[in-house]
């Protein structure tokens, strides 16, 4: 039976188009993060070598359970509030401190949080202690809804990067951000689904996300904030929620979506290095009139991976690396979850009958 979907809203963290997908599971890493708790203040500090000074107690975050209070104390200094003012108006979002030096720091967020200030406008970052700093855009990618901004303030606490491929459905997670401008808001929940195809944005400027779905409460303003695993490591960049009322700004109904950090990290690193980013290319055009299960190929791009692999025009993509493809959106989202140059297994229904598996090397193109 074909999976169906309903348009449940429009906009980033003001609603998203959520399309049914297939969740995959993997075992969670049982090893937690080592931290040092100050015996006097109870403040937490990351332990780089698994030991602490005599004034601090070694603690382990993560494992089979989740300590939201401890994670919040450890991670909130690495999550910032973002205010954007432009000719189009003002808005707020969230971000995570990704890299820092003695003089400056890079912060990751969503493209839709800062795009209105790309040509004219101002971006202000507020730290946990209330200090504010002007920020500039380093680079942004609307295709993945990722952006990197920079502040001239160094030696800030960076967030610890996790591994989103090790998440399983049912794993506990924590979301930190600034919903409705309320800085350092902490909520918790579970991973509700993985590999959930989600598209957001306006026609012609869509972002496609192979999303982590969570029931942790996230609301407008959480955009760009952190989704954390039980060890307090970032595993997702919160990007969108589904709403029941089209065009409204109603809040969380337990359907939140995050960009997996493994998918986002490649884009983030490229933006920091060059100000630009790339996306993978299969080298096909879809038949938009096709209404059956899967994604039908109407045309091939000369010299790209699909043509080289021998996939015939008229084939219908049924799965990619074992993940079932319900429709065109699902195919696009799944393809874009890979890095350029990756080799993927594409199973198609052939136009003359039968089914065949093809090994395809993805090409590369510059993202928008």
Q: Which residues are catalytic?
A: 112, 145, 223
Distance CA(92)–CA(89), nearest Å, equals 11
Q: How far is CA 78 from the centre of its chain?
A: 17
Whether the Cβ atoms of residue 52 and residue 39 lie closer than 8 Å to each other: no
Sheet hosting strand 33-38, strand order edge to edge: 44-46, 33-38, 56-61
| Count of other CB atoms within 10 angstroms of residue 55 | 10
Whether the Cβ atoms of residue 175 and residue 225 lie closer than 8 Å to each other: yes
Both tokens assigned to 265: 């990290």
Distance CA(340)–CA(278), nearest Å, equals 8
Burial code of 318-342, b = ≥16 C-beta within 10 A, e = fewer? bbbeebbbbbbbbbbbbbbbbbeee
Distance CA(131)–CA(255), nearest Å, equals 32
Whether the Cβ atoms of residue 78 and residue 174 lie closer than 8 Å to each other: no
Q: Which residues contact 3 (CB under 8 A, 6 or more apart)?
A: 19, 20, 21, 326, 327
């Amino acid at each position: 039976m074909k999976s169906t979907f309903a348009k449940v809203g429009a906009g980033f963290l003001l609603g998203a188009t959520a399309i049914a997908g297939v969740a995959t599971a993997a075992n969670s890493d049982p090893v937690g993060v080592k931290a040092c708790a100050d015996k006097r203040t109870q403040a937490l500090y990351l332990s780089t070598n698994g030991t602490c000074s005599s004034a601090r107690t070694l603690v382990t975050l993560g494992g089979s359970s989740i300590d939201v209070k401890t994670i919040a104390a450890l991670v909130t200094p690495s999550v910032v509030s973002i205010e954007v003012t432009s000719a189009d108006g003002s808005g707020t979002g969230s971000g995570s401190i990704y890299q820092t030096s003695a003089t400056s720091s890079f912060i990751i967020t969503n493209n839709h949080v800062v795009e209105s200030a790309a040509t004219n406008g101002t971006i202000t970052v507020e730290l946990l202690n209330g200090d504010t700093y002007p920020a500039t855009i380093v680079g942004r990618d609307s295709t993945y809804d990722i952006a990197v901004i920079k502040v001239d303030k160094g030696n800030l606490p960076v967030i610890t990067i996790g591994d989103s491929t090790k998440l399983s459905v049912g794993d506990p997670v924590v979301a930190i951000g600034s919903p409705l401008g309320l800085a350092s808001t902490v909520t918790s929940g579970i991973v509700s689904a993985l590999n959930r195809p989600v598209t957001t944005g306006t026609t012609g400027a869509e972002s496609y996300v192979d999303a982590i779905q969570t029931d942790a409460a996230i609301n407008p303003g959480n955009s760009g904030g952190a989704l954390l695993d039980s060890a307090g490591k970032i595993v997702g960049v919160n990007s969108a929620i589904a709403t029941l009322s089209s065009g409204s700004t109603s809040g969380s109904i337990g359907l939140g979506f995050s960009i997996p950090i493994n998918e986002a990290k490649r884009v983030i690193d490229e933006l920091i290095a060059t100000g630009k980013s790339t996306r993978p290319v299969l080298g096909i055009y879809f038949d938009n009139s096709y209404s059956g299960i899967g994604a039908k190929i109407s045309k091939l791009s000369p010299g790209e991976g699909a043509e080289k692999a021998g996939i015939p025009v008229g084939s219908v993509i049924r799965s990619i690396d074992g993940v079932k493809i319900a429709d065109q959106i699902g195919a696009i989202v799944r393809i874009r979850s890979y890095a350029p140059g990756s080799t993927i297994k594409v199973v198609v229904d052939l136009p003359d009958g039968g089914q065949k598996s093809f090994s395809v090397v993805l090409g590369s193109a510059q993202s928008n």
